[in-house]
Amino acid sequence: MAREVNSVGVVGLGTMGAGIVEVFARNGIDVVAVEVSDAALDRGRATLTGSTDRAVAKGKLSQEDRDGLLNRVTFAVGLEALGDVDLVVEAVPEHLDLKQQIFADLDRICKPEAVLATNTSSLSVTEISVATHRPNRVIGMHFFNPAPIMKLVEVVRTVVTESEVVDDIEALCTRLGKVDVTINDRAGFIANALLFGYLNHAVSMYEGRYVSREDIDAAMKLGCGLPMGPLALMDLIGLDTAYEILDTMYRRGGRDRRHAPVPLLKQMVTAGLLGRKSGKGFYTYEQAGSPVVVPDEETPTTSDGDGVGQPQKVAKVGVVGSGTMAAGIVEVFARAGYEVTSVTRGAEKSSKLLDDVKTSLNKGVVRGKLSEEDRDAALTRVTWSGSLDHLADVDLVVEAVLEELSVKKALFASLDEICKPGVVFATTTSSLPVIECAMATGRPANVVGLHFFNPAPAMPLIEVVRTIRTSPEALATARAVCEKLAKTPVVCADRSGFVVNALLFPYLNDAVKMLEASYSTADDIDYAMKLGCGYPMGPFDLLDVVGLDVSLAIQRELYLEFREPGFAPAPLLEHLVTAGYLGRKVARGFRDYSRR
């Protein structure tokens, strides 16, 4: 039976430490909050008071409960005040020597039965524990920021942590209203191991001038539904903290190059550009500590190429394809007021496409997002055809056919012979080289990528892909069309995965490798990313929705293009696809949906 914790000490009252104090005090537990000086103690007290005042102002905490919470907290300078507590949670900066010294002192001061916990997010709990004479009573208790709001706690056991200590901490997490995932001691644990490889990759994209900072963040927010873009998140975390975490994970985690901090990150830290805390990081803020972004003098990294072109007028659009994506694109253009010629092979496919468009438009009417008049007007703008010859006078052709390069190249060669001069050709490919399609024509300057996301009518993002032959005028036309469609265009160069897939799928692949290594369960990994990072879906839920075969194909393309060892598809993913476990579409992937 788990032992009840009645008193807790918290060492370090920065943003995280003060938040941990609030979590315990909110749940009726007496807290001794400790800092190294009176000035630091005053800052910690002000942080706690400010947080509880905001909670009262928002109606999330009554005045009476706030007063009770604050009365449970005793503030003190020095570790000596922690002699009688049942549990100590250390929340000081991520420096191993500092933590080891604190734990050595706590071992001397605290009663023998007290549990000593570290809130480290990346350092070895085992290395911290050996600074004491009670490593069996040392554990990791990794809260997420802001601690009063975020539901996840990673409970990290070492090889010598007593099982009863793990039970006690798991029971305490439940008492605090938190969801715990219990894992072994390894670099980054679950959330940071998956999150920081992705963040580091995003910084490398920005450093390489592949895409602007604004477009990277917009792509991941709008394309994946993430609460923040990666560069804005780095600014929130603090670039110095991010650097320390990545460096520790690289050294402790097998020297995976994906965790080697991008040189730009170290340069920014050296220059004092630490993110929100310093008032400037990847973005510039109103003042130090402010979340308000202000314009800066820096010219954002762009991927538009040299020169700014004038967009040409687009009134008529051709859409080639018969699948779900093609139907969505037809609907998007028709609703935006364009005359659309939809070309499919055969009357049967054309009829199905029309039915799909009608069904989607009717749903829009039922949900109140579209009037009946607008629905009818959109349908009258669409001409249905079975011949590419009917695209002779359109201003823009959007290809949405099978994701096979030979098929796309043959189609672009045919369009080159049929369409009028000046027409812009666009491919909706999500993984194939746009330049291959462009060079199948005699006018590669007029070819761009327009990567819509599924479902096209609902998703607000389009990746606009320029090749090294795309003209400024064609690029400007594509951007103008996206804006008329009420979509956000993200401009990037022609590289496998573009922005979203290049950042998303290595993260998913890392999650599969973590499961394959038996480090954690699919459920706990999903919990960690949803509750610890605010992601709308965990990686395994998302893999099952996307399709394991689709994910494997994209990951293979990324590996072939970049030859990055960390991008090699996880063998478990390969094996599941070979066995026919493809995700929800066949009712079996990482989870069994046949009984749900």
The residues assigned a catalytic role are 121, 142, 154, 192
Provide CB contacts within 8 A for 464, sequence distance 6+.
Answer: 448, 449, 450, 451, 475, 478, 479, 482, 489, 490, 491, 492
Calpha distance 234→246 (Å, rounded): 12
How far is Cα 109 from Cα 81, in angstroms, rounded to an integer?
9
- Select from 313, 321, 355, 317 the least CA-distant residue to 333: 317
| Contacts of 228 by beta carbon, 8 Å cutoff, 6+ apart | 217, 221, 236, 534
Q: What are phi and psi of 392, to 5 degrees?
A: -60, -30
Rounded-to-integer distance, Cα 358 and Cα 463, Å: 26
To 5 degrees, how large is the angle CA 30–CA 35–CA 39? 120
- The two three-digit tokens of residue 383, written as one number: 């001409």
CA gap 548, 439 in Å, rounded: 31
DSSP, collapsed to helix, strand or coil, labels residue 353 as helix
Cβ count near 500 (within 10 Å) = 21
Order of strands, sheet of 138-143, starting from the edge strand that comes earlier in the sequence:
73-77, 30-35, 7-11, 87-90, 115-118, 138-143, 152-157, 179-184
Closest CA to 349 of 320, 317, 392, 316: 320
CA neighbor of 396 nearest in space, from 467, 459, 485, 307 = 485
Query: Mapped to the 3 state alphabet, what secondary structure does 521-563 carry?
Result: CHHHHHHHHHHHHCCCCCHHHHHHHHCHHHHHHHHHHHHHHHC
Q: Look at the block and give the residue holding tokens 């050296």.
A: 270
Tokens found for residue 526: 């999903």
How do 138-143 and 152-157 pair as beta strands? antiparallel
Angle, vertex CA 563, rays to CA 557 and CA 565, nearest 5: 105
Whether 315 contacts 339, CB under 8 Å = yes
The type of residue at 289 is: G
Asked if residue 460 has a cis previous peptide bond (ω within 30° of 0), the answer is: no
Q: Is 53 helix (H, G, I), strand (E, B) or coil?
A: helix
